[in-house]
Amino acid sequence: MSHDFDTQKAETLSAFSDLQAEGPIPAEADLDLFFLPGAGDTDWQPLAHALADLGFVTQWAEAEGDEPATLIATMPDQILSGTAIWMVEELATRTALEFGFRPDGWGFAAE
């Protein structure tokens, strides 16, 4: 099954719009993207190296309780706009899919 980038983009732009409606958003922040392993035992380290080559800082979060194991890819000091987030998200998602991972959202912490 192929990935639906159009739907993912629409969801990202809608989510960002919803965040803007809730109140002010910082001009930039560290943007966290979350990726879940696909079926089977998917090794996260090759993806982490590939994302690091693209400028992401990565960490692996082991499964805890109901939370699945997750690769967190952070783009430091990212400009926050719907389009800017989507550009980074699309690049990381295309890379993740090559390594058997699927996207599971994004977020940032306002400082």
Q: Give CA–CA dist 10/18, Å, rounded.
A: 12
pLDDT of 11 higher than 90: yes
Per domain, the residue ranges of the chain are: 5-19+28-104
Of the CA atoms within 13 Å of residue 35, those in its CB half-sphere come to: 32
Q: Give CA–CA dist 40/51, Å, rounded.
A: 21
Q: How confident is the model at residue 64 (pLDDT cuts 50, 70, 90)?
A: confident
Q: How far is CA 42 from the centre of its chain?
A: 17
Q: How far is CA 70 from the centre of its chain?
A: 10
CATH architecture under which domain 5-19+28-104 falls: 2-Layer Sandwich (3.30)
pLDDT of 1 higher than 70: no
Q: Please report the pLDDT score of residue 92 as a whole number.
A: 98
Q: How many residues does the chain have?
A: 111
Strand pairing report for 57-61 and 28-37: unpaired
| φ, ψ for residue 19, nearest 5 deg | -65, -40
Q: How far is CA 44 from the centre of its chain?
A: 14
Q: How confident is the model at residue 38 (pLDDT cuts 50, 70, 90)?
A: confident
Q: What share of the chain is helix, strand, coil (3-state, %, to 5)?
A: 40, 30, 30
